[in-house]
Amino acid sequence: MTPAAFRKLVLALEGVEERPHMGRAAFRTKRRTFATLGADKRVNLHVEPADKRDALLASFPAAIHSLGGWTRLGFVAVDLTVIEDGLLIELVTEAWREAQPVPKKAKAKAKAKSKSKSKSKSLPDDERAIRLHLDRAT
């Protein structure tokens, strides 16, 4: 897939907008960035959960690469010149779904669950954010 075709694919998804991000084009929903496109014909794509990300890295070593610390945060590099279009479309669609805004009712339930699980009021803001991230990952 060409970078132009990738851009067209991603921008066709509902609610996606493109913004500059660290020398790359970032594609995001109102909630978060789920893909970035660089001049190197690689896409950094958000893939969760970690076991799926690890399986993709092991199964498609020519097409999907680790980004070190960014991979630990959920992103992998996808080589547009190597990956099969069908797999890329599947991965992009899933990343887009995961990046959708959480409905207010679900957000309220998650917030209540988070408060009951931890002593979030006594934690510093950064630790509270980490716990919230970990709760979402499980």
Q: pLDDT tens digits, residue range 11-40? A: 999 999 999 998 899 999 999 999 999 999
Phi, psi for residue 86 in degrees, rounded to 5: -60, -45
* CB environment 50-67: b (16+ within 10 A), e (fewer): eeebeebbeebeebbbee
For the cut 70, the answer to whether the pLDDT of residue 123 exceeds it is: no
Nearest to 34 by CA among 10, 56, 58: 10
User: What are the C-alpha distances in Å from 111 to residues 102, 119, 123?
Assistant: 11, 12, 15
Q: pLDDT tens digits, residue range 40-93? A: 999 999 999 999 999 999 999 999 999 999 999 999 999 999 999 999 999 999
User: Could you tell me the domains of the chain?
Assistant: 3-98 (3.90.1150.30), 104-137 (no CATH)
How many whole angstroms separate alpha carbon 21 and alpha carbon 13? 19
